[in-house]
Amino acid sequence: MKTYYKNPSQVTGNWYVIDAKGAILGRLCTKIAHILRGKHRPEFTPFWDFGDHVIVLNADKIAITGKKAAQKVYFRHTGYPGGVKFTTLQKMLQTKPEEVIKHGVKGMLPKNRLGRKLFKKLKVYNSAEHPHAAQQPQPMNI
């Protein structure tokens, strides 16, 4: 018996809207990565893109548990010698809250071409409005 794989052209992608208000950061990111990857579909195939588009609203109103706001540190490097930059989660939420969710989801996707393609399907906004009304996104509860 052979395993039947659907072709990506046979599957249509959906758009979902998720309201992040009051949602816990890690649990929200795992749900988003699950949808982007396409694991919620019965025809999931690890090496093809069957994922859906996800729009996240109210990124600045996510919940953080414990002492993570002061203790969690984001690292980046400028590319110059001694160019290490550290930013705490608390400061990141004040300046760029959408990047917190993007960073969490990106770490949960595959580290290859497929992961980069899936990541482009994520749209994160600080407000409760988005410019994707033409795609008729469906609301999803987390």
pLDDT, one tens digit per residue, over 96-121 is 999 999 999 999 999 999 999 999 99
- Listed in sequence order, the residues at least 6 apart from 19 whose beta carbon sits closer than 8 Å to its beta carbon are 57, 58, 128, 139, 142
Strands 15-19 and 138-140 come out as parallel
CATH topology of domain 12-140: Ribosomal Protein L13p; Chain: A; (3.90.1180)
Residues of the chain with pLDDT > 90: what percent? 87
Which pTM does this prediction carry?
A: 0.93
- Confidence label for 71 from pLDDT (cuts 50, 70 and 90): very high
- Confidence label for 59 from pLDDT (cuts 50, 70 and 90): very high
pLDDT of 7 > 90? The answer is no
